[in-house]
Amino acid sequence: MSNYYYLDIKLILANPEEVTPAFYKKNILEAVKQLFGETGASIPIDILKFNSETLEAILRVPKSHYIKIRSSLVLSGKYEGIRCIYSIQKSTPLLLALQGDSRNYNH
């Protein structure tokens, strides 16, 4: 089985603005640091895919820290001082599982 978990997330901002992958990751790390301190901020988080128009990203996080990352995203309320919400659309231990969706499958 995989040592990682994959999260398909979306950042919803009160005042949409241009967001770079670096700022996106920085905000995620700040959310983790706020909840779990310096040890939480040292968790390796990889952005595998990022869409700057929709502010959606696919994250890869260690399986052992999945709950910490997920709870930090859910409880995060600000992005660079602007109110925000992280919507976790899907999460799975298999990257390929993010590709398909049985609800939208056409026969």
What is the per-residue pLDDT across 30-41, written as a single tens digit (0 to 9) for each?
999 999 999 888
Please tell me the predicted confidence (pLDDT) of residue 10.
95
Token couple for 2 = 């995989």
C-alpha distance from residue 27 to each of 93, 101, 106 (Å): 23, 28, 37
Mean pLDDT in residue range 33-51: 92
Query: Residue written as tokens 């700040």?
Result: 30
Please give the average per-residue pLDDT across 34-59, as a whole number: 93
* CA 10 – CA 28 distance, rounded (Å): 12
Domains annotated on the chain, with CATH: 4-94 (3.30.70.3250)
- pTM of the complete model beyond 0.75: yes
In this structure, are residues 58 and 49 in contact, taking their beta carbons and an 8 Å threshold? yes
